[in-house]
């Protein structure tokens, strides 16, 4: 039975998820380079956040320099962390009701 061949990114590109090269070494993907999970990266991409990407076949890819430039832009903007909790505002705290004595 033939083994499934995985597509590898062209030189200078990386896929959204980690991939392996011919030697079996792991090539860090976009999400890993940004320090986030792949699921978070997918949400960011749908929201228009993150580095510029393109589609190669059925896979999302980006130039490695584009990912590095995106990280540089975050550093220059003074962002020490990326705000990924923008989906819902914090709820106000409600004090407990104590029973009447």
Share of the chain above pLDDT 90, in %: 39
Residue-range domain boundaries for the chain: 13-76
State the pLDDT confidence band at 3, using cuts at 50, 70 and 90: very low
Residues 61-98: pLDDT tens digits? 999 999 999 999 888 887 555 555 556 667 778 887 88
Enter the pTM of the model. 0.67
Q: List CB contacts of 14: < 8 A, sequence separation 6 or more.
A: 27, 28, 29, 30, 33, 61, 62, 64, 67
How distant, in Å, are the alpha carbons of 21, 54, 58, 72, 88 from that of 8? 6, 15, 12, 26, 37
Give 14-55 pLDDT, tens digit per residue.
Answer: 999 988 877 888 888 999 999 999 999 999 999 988 999 999
């Amino acid at each position: 039975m033939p083994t499934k061949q995985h597509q590898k990114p062209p030189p200078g590109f990386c896929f959204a998820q980690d991939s392996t090269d011919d030697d079996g070494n792991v090539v860090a993907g976009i999400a890993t380079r940004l320090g986030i999970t792949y699921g978070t990266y997918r949400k960011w991409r749908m929201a228009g956040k993150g580095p510029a990407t393109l589609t190669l076949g059925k896979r999302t890819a980006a130039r490695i320099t584009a990912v590095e430039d995106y990280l540089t832009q975050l550093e220059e903007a003074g962002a020490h962390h990326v705000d990924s909790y923008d989906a819902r505002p914090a709820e106000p705290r409600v004090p407990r009701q104590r029973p009447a004595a």
